[in-house]
Amino acid sequence: YPLLIPLKKGNESWKHFYVKMVYYISKLKEKFGIPYIPTKGYDPEEFYKMYVNDVNIFNGAMGWAPLGGHINIVKLMIEKGATDFNLGMFKAAIGGHMDIVKLMIEKGAHNFNLAMEGAASEGHMDIVKLMIEKGATYFNLPMKWAALGGHMDIVNYLKQFV
């Protein structure tokens, strides 16, 4: 299902979606021995070799692994070449995973306003405070998301900055 979200929003072409699907199916074969019958004349092993180090695939995983708190997967994606640390920080902030938020900052994430929105929407005060400490300066949307989520402690905390 996560693979379909960008496609549904119109942010991804069918070709790119197909490439990702074939890649992940190839990984199933490689990792778990699950057989895959490719399209006629298509070799998944060749596909895998072509795209095994595609940074876009690893950056895509950075949008999901941090949200679930899977720091080992995040580290693997970074090792493989993922570079979208702002997305990783935002998703980790939504999930309340301070360890991943700090890792993303260490790697160069700097969109503290966006991460603060994510943290505020889910009631993660510790991450909200860290984002302010790191330089977040825009408080209206975080207050809105905190209020919508019923996190009045965060709303009241953020009031002092507006």
Q: What is the mean pLDDT of residues 141-162?
A: 96
Closest CA to 147 of 115, 127, 126, 117: 117
Higher pLDDT residue, 155 or 66? 155
pLDDT tens column, 115-131: 999 999 999 999 999 99
Higher pLDDT residue, 78 or 1? 78
CA distance 131 to 111: 9
Q: Of 62-66, 77-81, 87-91, give the range with the top mean pLDDT.
A: 87-91
Q: What pLDDT does residue 113 have?
A: 97
Provide the 10 A C-beta neighbour count for residue 78: 17
Domains, the chain, with CATH or none: 111-162 (1.25.40)
Closest CA to 94 of 68, 129, 73, 113: 68
pLDDT tens column, 2-47: 444 444 455 555 556 666 666 666 666 566 554 544 444 555 566 5
The DSSP code sequence of 43-71 is: -HHHHHHHHTT-HHHHHHHTTTHHHHT-H
CA distance 142 to 79: 32
